[in-house]
Amino acid sequence: MAVTRWIKVAVAMQSAIGADLTISGITLASPGVGTSTAHGLANGDYVVFTISGGMQQLNRRVLRVAGQTTNTFQLEGLDTTTFDAFSAGTCNKITFGTSFSTLMDAAPSGGDQQFITYRILHDDQEYQIPSVKSAQIYTFRSLWEPSDAALTAAQTASDAAAERAVRFTFSDSKKFVFNGYVGFTFQPQGGSGELVECTMTVTGKGRGTAYAT
């Protein structure tokens, strides 16, 4: 097994989003296949889904396109077999045109299974059943550089309370993509004799997806 390291990792954020592409169907298969008339997508494109009916497991999730034909495309690497049946939704092509060069680390949190605790009157113990998962959050430490274009783009997204997709590309070509709300201001932090830093967060909206290449 090859070991992946946090060395020479490219972090890119969504800089543009395409027009709504109406989806008429998504199969329950591995991988799932979406149908969208004359969608214009190419293999390797990334799209974010907005699901308005059924298949909520896909809502606001970022996935890569594979096996495209004129009117269909595969949801690369995603097994939708156990998902809810799809009834309505759209997707939008994402352009990852904002590249960060000041980030120093990335710390994930959340995504934990939450539980409902209950007791039955005639019993003498508590029970738990799974409910939802907690929000997934990435916290990034960054060098403080007010002239940096990527940090400025992050502040713009934060000020607008806007979602942005983020992609990690590791030196061994593995990738991780996710979508969320950006939180950032150019508020400097640190201590005497230390680097001046700032913090950016991305609070997940939709599940992340990992790719081997």
Span(s) in the chain for CATH 2.40.30.180: 14-95
| pLDDT score of 117 | 95
How far apart are alpha carbons 131 and 7 in whole angstroms? 37
End-to-end CA distance of the chain: 14
| pLDDT score of 1 | 72
Exposure class string for 76-102: b at 16+ Cβ within 10 A, else e: bebebeebeebeebbbbbbebebebeb
Average pLDDT score, the chain: 96
pLDDT digits (tens, 9 = 90+) for 89-118: 999 999 999 999 999 999 999 989 999 999
Cα 156-157-162 angle, rounded to 5 deg: 145
**Could you tell me which of 9, 2, 7 has the C-alpha nearest to residue 176?**
9
212's tokens: 């081997």
Question: What's the fold here for domain 98-211?
Answer: Elongation Factor Tu (Ef-tu); domain 3 (2.40.30)
Place of tokens 């713009």: 156
pLDDT tier at 195 (50, 70, 90 boundaries)? very high
pTM of this structure: 0.92
Pick the CATH number of 14-95 from 1.10.1740.10, 3.40.1010.10, 3.40.1260.10, 2.40.30.180: 2.40.30.180
pLDDT digits (tens, 9 = 90+) for 126-173: 999 999 989 899 999 999 999 999 999 999 999 999 999 999 999 999
Q: Are 130 and 115 in contact (CB under 8 A)?
A: yes
Q: Are 84 and 112 in contact (CB under 8 A)?
A: no
**Could you tell me which of 182, 138, 178 has the C-alpha nearest to residue 49?**
178
Measured CA to CA in angstroms, residue 110 lies from 79, 134, 135, 173 at distances of 23, 5, 5, 26
